[in-house]
């Protein structure tokens, strides 16, 4: 089958189409004919050599797909050949077919195209596990999201608003402020505003109860300053690439918590529990129209290198997808 390979680490130019063996699904797995693959910043890091796949995962990129089930393992229940689905993967999504444990598969939501469904698994799983399972965001609380126009950021805004929370988000342009405000969040242009002061003003000095941080670096001490008493900071990426330091006493006085998390390396049982939570809590919001995937670009699989260039350049709103068929 065709897959996008990187035989060496480097820039987008190292990505090349090549032939690999078809995956052989195990007894608890399904085989999916891929319609589209979602792209994530973790893919960029893996391509550059900074985020190797977990043991047993395919060497090529791709942590989420949508498609049609072509084979069902003998121990699988609840899925049939021909089902339209999307799935969270440990790797290998930039390809024509993938094998994945059945517990990491989700049905294509009603009202979402099969291609666009590839934008959902990673963002929904990240938001549900961090903001709600660990962050315990409640309906009367305030969520601060850094990077509100990313796939994860736009998902966090929509789910939090649908479940009754207030949302403030940092973005990098006036156009992005307008977009996040169309989703129900208060947008802050970080080139023009100090998010610590703006959050305090918007919450009458209370601060943000949960902060979802994709930036890292010097955002960590500022997050602690913007945090409410008893607040939770969820650090899911360090896109700045910079180290972080903060005054420990400030966190202690606020009785705050900082969680650093990833999903990909977790044991299967933990990921399966996250996916079950997504299906129970997020999927009804999508099918009811309160939450939708936000897709910026859909490019052919063969143009993966160009898609990586555009994603790295920034300026996009939502997800990049690679169409396979």
What is the pLDDT, as a whole number, of residue 21?
96
Specify the pLDDT at position 244.
78
Cα gap 44→309, rounded to integer Å: 9
Tokens read off for 184:
């129900």
Residues of the chain where predicted confidence (pLDDT) is lower than 50: none
Q: What does the H/E/C string look like for the chain? A: CEEEEECCCCCHHHEEEEECCCCCCCCCEEEEEEEEEECCHHHHHHHCCCCCCCCCCCCCCCCEEEEEEEEECCCCCCCCCCCEEEEECCCCCCECEEEEEHHHEEECCCCCCCCHHHHCHHHHHHHHHHHHHHCCCCCCCEEEEECCCCHHHHHHHHHHHHCCCEEEEEECCHHHHHHHHHCCCEEEECCCCCHHHHHHHHCCCCCEEEEEECCCCCHHHHHHHHEEEEEEEEECCCCCCCCCCCCHHHHHHCCCEEEECCCCCCCHHHHHHHHHHHHHHCHHHHHCCCCCCCEEEEEEHHHHHHHHHHHHHCCCCCEEEEECC
For residue 216, what pLDDT is reported?
Answer: 84
Query: Which pLDDT belongs to residue 217?
Result: 83
Contacts of residue 229, Cβ cutoff 8 Å, sequence gap at least 6: 207, 254, 255, 256
288: Cβ–Cβ under 8 A, 6 or more apart, which residues? none
Tell me phi and psi for residue 234, to 5 degrees.
-105, 110
Each residue's pLDDT tens digit, 262-273: 999 999 999 999
């Amino acid at each position: 089958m065709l897959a996008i390979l990187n035989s060496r680490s480097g820039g987008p130019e190292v990505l090349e189409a090549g032939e690999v063996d078809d995956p052989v699904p195990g007894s608890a797995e399904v085989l999916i004919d891929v319609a589209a693959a979602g792209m994530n910043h973790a893919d960029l890091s893996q391509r550059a050599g900074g985020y190797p796949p977990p043991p047993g995962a395919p060497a090529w990129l791709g942590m989420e797909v949508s498609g049609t089930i072509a084979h069902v393992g003998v121990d699988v229940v609840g899925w049939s050949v021909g089902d339209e689905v999307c799935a969270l993967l440990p790797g290998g999504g930039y390809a024509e077919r993938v094998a994945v444990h059945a517990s990491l598969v989700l049905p294509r939501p009603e009202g979402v195209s099969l291609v666009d469904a590839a934008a959902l698994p990673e963002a929904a799983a990240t938001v549900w596990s961090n903001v709600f399972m660990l962050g315990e965001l409640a309906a009367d609380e305030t969520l601060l999201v850094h990077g509100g126009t990313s796939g994860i950021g736009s998902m966090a805004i929509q789910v939090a608003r649908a479940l009754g929370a207030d949302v403030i988000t940092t973005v990098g342009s006036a156009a992005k402020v307008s977009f996040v405000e169309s989703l129900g969040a208060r947008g802050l242009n970080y080139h023009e505003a100090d998010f610590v002061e703006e959050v305090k003003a918007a919450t009458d000095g209370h601060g943000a109860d949960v902060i979802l941080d994709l930036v890292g670096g010097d955002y960590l001490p500022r997050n602690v300053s913007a945090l409410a008493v008893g607040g939770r900071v969820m650090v899911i990426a360090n896109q700045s690439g910079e180290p972080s330091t903060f005054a420990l006493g400030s966190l202690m006085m606020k009785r705050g918590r900082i969680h650093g998390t990833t999903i990909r390396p977790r044991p299967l049982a933990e990921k399966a529990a996250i996916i079950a939570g997504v299906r129970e809590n997020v999927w009804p919001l999508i099918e009811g129209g309160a939450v939708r995937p936000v897709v910026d670009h859909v490019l052919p699989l063969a143009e993966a290198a160009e898609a990586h260039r555009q994603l790295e350049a920034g300026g996009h709103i939502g997800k990049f997808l690679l169409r396979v068929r």
